[in-house]
Amino acid sequence: MFTLNCKGRILVIDKPLVMGIINATPDSFFSGSRFNGVDEIVAKAEKMLNEGSDILDIGGQSTRPGSELISADEEIERVIPAIKAIAEKNPKAFISIDTFYSKVAAAAVDAGASIVNDISAGSMDNKMIATVAELKVPYILMHMKGTPQTMQQNAIYKDVTLDVLDFFISKTHELQKAGIVDIIIDPGFGFAKTIDQNFELLKNLSVFKMLDKTIMLGISRKSTIYKTLGVNAEESLNGTTVLNTIGLMNGASILRVHDVKEARETIKLFSATYK
């Protein structure tokens, strides 16, 4: 069991949780996760909460391979009104801000978010780690090499599992030294990883349990699934469910997904099997 102190509210992880993805972006890789306007985002948030989402992950910047980088100020314009509206209407909701900008993280936590999800592990903003420590919120530490614009050129490893493990060992020590108490680790499926490397990481996910940290699995509708199956992102729900099941069997505690209802059902059946 893990516990996360989210601005004074304790999120208990004694069974796998679901994190619902909400992208306040016009260019997310999956059309079903693109939302325009605060009302549309709030409606989607309420639907996800009703379907059993434990955390809502709000992002204002696409991080798919080769995506266009936007500024922190533009990101703030996209996400802060949505976070405020969701938090006001659903004060008990746990909201995560998906950003690599410290300025966005601070504004989001002030608006109602209580978790910071940073794909860059602090590498794209050297103020991020100190900011999160000061905010005293949980930090999702993801592995990536380079940036979303360059990462697929950096998918070179001697042993992808051991290299990612070494990164987490070093980085969690750095975060703890900086004063960050609650750390969630995310191997970064699809971020500077080939399809074969993604499957290798998934197969070996249980290795990361040695870190004694909550493990998040973010593989929902990604190209590893749809390219392997010869379909597209819109047709990748079944494949997502299969890989989420494998992830749960190998130690994942949070499923970050576009489809909350199906992920909740996956966890329910998994939990009934492995009581």
Residues that are catalytic:
222, 256
d(CA 202, CA 196): 10
Check: CB of residue 25 under 8 Å from CB of residue 31: no
Helix, strand or coil, per DSSP, at residue 9: strand
Tokens representing 188? 């970064």
Distance CA 82, CA 47 (A): 15
What residues contact residue 79 under an 8 Å CB cut-off, 6+ apart?
24, 58, 59, 60, 97, 99, 104, 108
As a three-state string, the secondary structure of 155-192 is: CCCCCHHHHHHHHHHHHHHHHHHHCCCCEEEECCCCCC
* Residue 79: Cβ-neighbour burial (10 angstroms; 0-12, 13-18, 19+): buried
Are 17 and 247 in contact by the 8 Å Cβ rule? The answer is no
Query: For the chain, percent helix, then strand, then coil, each to nearest 5?
Result: 45, 15, 35
What separation, in Å, do the N-terminal and C-terminal C-alpha atoms of the chain show? 14
Structure tokens at 184: 């969630």
Residue 49 CA neighbour count, 13 Å, CB half? 16
